[in-house]
Amino acid sequence: MSRAYRALLALAPPRLRARHGAAMEELFADRLAAARARGRAAVLAAWVRAATDLVHARAASWRAPRVPLTVPVDERTTIMAGSDVRYAWRALLRQRGATALVVLMLALGIAANVAVFAIVNGLFLRPFPFPQPDRLVYINTAAPKWNLDVVGINYPDFDRWRRDQKLFDAITTYQGANFNLADAAGAVRVGGLLITCDFTKVFRIEPILGRTFTADEDKPKGPPVVVISAALWRERFGADPNVVGRTLRVDGTTRTIIGVMPPEASFPDDVKLWVPMAGDPAQPYQSYSGDGIGRLKPGVTAEQADADLKRAHQPIWDASDKDHVVTPFVKPLHETFVRDYRGAARTVTAAVAVLLLIACANVAAVMLARALARRREMGIRLALGSSRLRLLRQLLIENIMLAVAGGAIGLAAGRWALGAVIRLLPDQLPRWAAFHVDLRVIAFSFLVVVATVILFGWAPALHAVGGDLRSAVNASTNGTTGAPRGRRTLWFLVAGEFALAAALLVCGTLLIKAFDRVRHVDPGFRADHVLTFVVPLSEGTRPKPEQWMTFWDDLLARAKALPGVDAAGVVTCPPFGCHWGNFYVIDNALPRPDGKDPVVLTRLASPGYFEAMGIRLKSGRFFQEPDGRSKDSRVVIVNETFVRTFWGEGADGVGRRIRYRDAKAPWITVVGVVRDVKHYGLEQPMRPGLYFPVAVDPRPTLTVAIHSAQDPTSLMPAIREMVRGMDPEVPLFQVRTMEEAIRRSMALRAAFSWMLAVFAGLAFVLAVGGAYGVATYLVTQRTREIGIRVALGARTADIFRSVVAGGAGVVLAGVAGGLAASIFVARFLGDALFGVSTHDPGVLSFVTLILLGTALLANGFPARRAARLDPMRSLRTE
Amino acid sequence: MADASLKPHWFHILLALADGDRHGLAIARDVQTLSDGALRLWPATLYGSLDELRARGWIEELADPPADESERRRYYRLTRRGRAVLTEEAERLGRLVRRARARMRTGDAR
């Protein structure tokens, strides 16, 4: 019995147990004896009562402040951090408002950092999902003399490299392609790769079922085999374990399924099929259209591999390319697949770091104000025998608790924000990149929290316990502006916040202005009421170009007959779509100073295309029937840049001639000059471009453009019905309006600009909030002084001015510093500014006005309150 | 710390010490008698209160050299301040009781 109670005593506060344990047992024994006399129920009640008594005492010991004087010296030295945590908890709860504010500000800063870091992590830090990804490199060819960074890989060249290279485990070449899959359920279009058999050795991925193709299957006229993705396996075959050996109709050819690849093999895009490239090294004049990936041998660098490939290429130069026009190169994989995001990611990362810095400065200011107000308490505790170290530890623990709370909320909010950002950029981010809150993100958040504690913890802690605390105790009240050093730090923090916010606001506003400028760039076509979609024909069912042309003529005739359609045309590459470059001999061309021959964007279009897209004619005429229908109808339409580049500013192109480089190629006459279409994006420069009539060289896959006075998407059901009526095996995809195409082409810039603007806005709110908080605090601290001044005859206006002047001066200094810095910092935005000057006067004055205006308000409210103080009341506030 | 009223068990403990020094167990028994069995002090409450009252200087521990720490019984004594607090509280309660009686009498009359 007494043993049982002794065990229960573990619940009691340790000090009580140490002092009175034996006596407590004795008393309980007494109570128990009395209870036994009254029966079993009473005994049970006594035990319950004794237990609650102990728990209650324990709880009370947390609530009640210790009276330090009664703590013996030996016990004081052994007080554990547990009591610090409880004390900190109480201190934080006592000021719920300030605590909530601090946690909220930290959570905001940390959330933004977590979200952005998760994106940066997914794009740059997380390796590609293959074993030893650092050994993977990108291979392609460049043609510096033709002004081309990337030409593409020609299969015979690749075959030579594959045989002669020495520093790679394996290399592979592939071409992204879309395939028509047709079965009883209907026709669909899926993405896939034509790839050489080496790819499993390069990526080191194994199929989850079956096998991948062999070198014998990767030959011209090899057996028709195909490897499918796990997704296709599930969608189309219901994850049938016996799928290997079944067949699939791919582009009109029946192929045997030999394997299923795991989901992570989907590289570089959404790949559903792997089809043997079946290249023929002996066939001459193959196109330069492949991409390459290689796996380096251990310890080999990309530069060494680059040299190795150039060495392997030497025989080709010697045999057929004495001028070294086409040069192979090797680059780390990441550089190729994420370069578009690198600049944006760096800027956004810097912006969120600044945001966190501002949040920290703000938190530091709030904590410092609190700490200054607590100097008296600290002084008393020091006098009662606490050490400065102990007090510092106390404050540190408060800071850690705040940072942990802010970090936890921030992590959750950051996950949410990450989802929102990814939804904002659906097809701008590469497929293989995964954005998760993984271990690395959590570790990063932890580091941010630690950095936060250090950044906002130093000022309050030093000011609270540093210096002469005895005078803090002696100060009869806390209504005087003691600690001038603390006040200076407060103002320093506010000025710093305003400087950072100003710099961020300038960058954000500049980007918004640049975004607006890009949005208003003339795309060179009419974006509204135009619908485009891609129709691919299977070469299996229609092997001859004449059959394709018949199909297109039929499709356009039917489309124009649909009610509501005013114009319809086909083109090989619509704006923001593909690029097909070519070189031409230009009759009577100006000499080129750099000796480089510019590549010309070459498109094939039907006569109705220009009308459907609203492309404007500058001179001459559009195509008309029967352009391109006969061999001797040789006409071309060129763009303004083409005329300017080859024949000079102001020249009229109509009537001039061009031809292919082939010596026997006939001359082709320019019949029309059209305005530039911003083919590569609104903010990209246009290259020389031209259009041939599509009838000259019909293609199996074309983009159809339709113009309608009504909402063009409403025509979609009729169009689908029409195409199905022509051939049920032909799918129709990438249906979008040109307005949507423009929006998509700008999605990355939009996301980038708005993210920065949002961060700038948050920074602004934090800075103004900080200024307001500090001004309010300082006015409260000056209550007594203001009271005396009013009593001595100071007018309301004098008080108001003195309060506002103090705050406004600091803000002015901060803003001035921030603007100066921003002119320097904005330069790093570079191309993203799209020609907007880094010291754009409109932007700079807007930011200055908005910051100074709100800072004046932030100081004005506390100042007004101070000016209206009743001197008698303010002197009595203590 | 200037509570308007004294916690009931503090009052009882001080009262138990008013007519002589006692150790914890004796105080507990005495309190039970004083309150007609209504107030039973459980160990943690009793000894927690004794520490608290001692910290406030209302009672003191008798300097009794311990023969054996575990067997040691601590005796407590009311200090002058403790007695003053007790007297004041008793008078306050007395006034309250008188007022209550007076008010209840007028209430009966209605």
Q: Is A778 exposed, middle or buried (0-12, 13-18, 19+ CB in 10 A)?
A: buried
Determine the residue of chain A that is closest to B27 in CA distance. A27
Indicate yes or no: CB of A27 within 8 angstroms of CB of B25.
yes
Least Cα separation, residue B28 to chain A (angstroms): 8
Contact: B43, A53; criterion CB under 8 Å: yes
Point out which residues pair with A273 in neighbouring strands: A192, A228
Q: Which of B40, B43, B55 sits opposite A70 (nearest CB)?
A: B55
A181 φ, ψ to 5°? Answer: -105, 125
Q: Identify all chain B residues contacting A31, using CB atoms and an 8 Å cutoff.
A: 40, 42
Chain B contact set for A60 (CB, 8 A): 48
User: Which residue(s) pair with A253 in the sheet?
Assistant: A250
Of A15, A22, A27, nearest to B28 by CB-CB distance is A27
- What is the pLDDT, as a whole number, of residue B107? 54
Q: Residue A492 CA to chain centroid, in angstroms?
A: 33
**How far is the C-alpha of A576 from the C-alpha of A523, rounded, in Å?**
10
Report chain A residues whose CB lies below 8 A from the CB of B24: 20, 23, 26-27
Chain A residue with CA closest to B49: the answer is A57
User: What is residue A80's predicted lDDT score, i.e. its pLDDT?
Assistant: 45
As a whole number of angstroms, the distance between CA A733 and CA A154 comes to 29
Nearest Cα of chain A lies from the Cα of B105 at a distance, in angstroms, of: 39
Query: Confidence band (pLDDT; 50, 70, 90) for A486?
Result: confident
Nearest by CB to A12, which of B44, B50, B55? B44
Check pLDDT > 60 for residue B69.
no
Contact between B42 and A22 using a beta-carbon 8 Å cutoff: no
Mutation site for A-interface testing, chosen from B30, B42, B73 by largest number of A Cβ within 10 Å: B42
Predicted local distance difference test score (pLDDT) of residue A77: 41
Q: Cβ contact (<8 Å) for A23 and B24?
A: yes
Q: How far is B18 from chain A (nearest CA, A)?
A: 21
Compute the nearest-CA separation of B43 from chain A (Å): 5
Phi-psi region at B89: left, alpha or beta (left = phi > 0; alpha = psi -120 to 50):
alpha
Task: Give A52→chain B minimum CA distance, Å.
Answer: 9
B77 contact partners, CB below 8 Å, separation of at least 6: B17, B21, B59, B60, B61, B62
Contact B44 A24 (CB under 8 A): yes
Q: Which residues of A touch B52 (CB under 8 A)?
A: 64
- Residue (of A282, A284, A335, A265) closest to A306 by Cα position: A335
Q: Which residue has the higher pLDDT, A231 or A383?
A: A231
Which residues from B are below 8 Å from A57, CB to CB? Answer: 44-45, 48
β-pairing, A225-229 vs A253-261, is parallel
Note the pLDDT of residue A79. Answer: 44
Look at residue A70 and tell me whether its pLDDT is greater than 70: no
Mean pLDDT of chain A: 83
Instruction: Give the pLDDT confidence of A792-811 residue by residue, as tens digits.
Output: 888 888 888 887 887 788 88
Give yes or no for B7 touching A (CB within 8 A).
no
CB contact under 8 A, B44 and A67: no
| B25/A19 CB distance under 8 A | no
* Test mutation, A20, A48, A63, chain B, max B CBs within 10 A: A20
Among A53, A69, A70, whose Cβ lies nearest the Cβ of B44?
A53
The pTM of this model reads: 0.65
Nearby residues of A494 by Cβ (< 8 Å), 6 or more positions away: A361, A365, A767, A770, A771, A774, A807, A810, A811, A814
pLDDT tens, residue by residue, A104-128 = 888 888 888 888 888 777 777 666 7
Dist CA A682 CA A746 (whole Å): 8
Q: How far apart are CA A380 and CA A396, in angstroms?
A: 19
Tell me the pLDDT band of A492, cut-offs 50, 70 and 90: confident
Q: Which two tokens stand for residue A106?
A: 């930290």
Residue B1 pLDDT: 40
For residues B54 and B48, what is the distance between their CA atoms, to the nearest angstrom? Answer: 10
B1 chain-A contacts, CB cut-off 8 A: none
Q: Is B103 on the interface with A (CB under 8 A)?
A: no
pLDDT recorded at residue A139: 93
Whether residue B57 lies within 8 A of chain A, CB to CB, comes out as no
The answer to whether residue A218 scores a pLDDT higher than 60 is: yes
Predicted local distance difference test score (pLDDT) of residue A81: 55
Nearest to A24 among B47, B72, B73 (CB): B47
- Per-residue pLDDT for A661 more than 50? yes
State the pLDDT at residue A339: 59
On the question of pLDDT at A658 being above 60, the answer is yes
pLDDT digits (tens, 9 = 90+) for A143-160: 877 667 788 898 999 999
Residue A377 has pLDDT above 70, yes or no: yes
pLDDT value for A137: 92
Does the pLDDT of residue B67 top 70, yes or no? no
Q: Kindly report the nearest CA distance between residue B86 and chain A, in angstroms.
A: 22
What is the complex's ipTM, to 2 decimals?
0.84
Q: Is B42 on the interface with A (CB under 8 A)?
A: yes
Residue-level pLDDT at A656? 94
What's the mean pLDDT in A547-576? 93
**What residues of B are in contact with residue A69 (Cβ under 8 Å)?**
55
Question: A61: nearest CA in chain B?
Answer: B48
Residue B44 forms contact with A (CB below 8 Å): yes
Q: What does the mean pLDDT of chain B come to?
A: 81
Q: DSSP labels for A666-704?
A: PPEEEEEEEPPP-TT-TTSPPPPEEEEEGGGS--SEEEE
Share of chain A above pLDDT 90, in %: 24
Instruction: Tell me the pLDDT tens digit for each residue of A729-774.
Output: 788 878 889 988 888 888 778 877 888 888 888 888 888 888 888 8
Given a cut of 80, is residue A228 above it in pLDDT? yes
Q: What is the pLDDT of residue A92?
A: 77
CA distance B84 to chain A (A): 22
Q: How much is the average pLDDT of A590-616?
A: 88
Sign of CA dihedral A815, A817, A821, A823: positive
Q: Is the pLDDT of residue A177 over 70?
A: yes
Which helix (H) or strand (E) segment is A836 a member of?
none
* A22, A49, A60: residue with CB nearest B48: A60
pLDDT of B110 reads 43
Q: Which residues in chain B have their CB less than 8 angstroms from residue A22's CB?
A: 70-72
Taking only residues 68 to 97 of chain B, the set having a beta carbon closer than 8 angstroms to any beta carbon of chain A reads: 70-74
pLDDT, mean of residues A852-861: 85
Judged by a CB distance cut-off of 8 A, whether residue A13 touches chain B is: yes
The answer to whether residue A20 neighbours chain B at the CB level (below 8 Å) is: yes
**φ, ψ for residue A168 (rounded to 5)?**
-110, 145
CB distance B45–A12 less than 8 Å?
Answer: no
Size of interface A-B (CB pairs under 8 A): 71
In this predicted model, what pLDDT tens digit does every residue of A240-280 receive, in sequence order? 899 999 988 888 888 999 999 988 788 777 788 999 998 88
In chain A, which among 58-97 make CB contacts under 8 A with chain B? Answer: 58, 60-61, 64, 67, 69-70
DSSP conformation class of A11: G
Report whether pLDDT(A64) > 60. no
pLDDT in tens, A705-724: 999 988 888 888 899 889 88
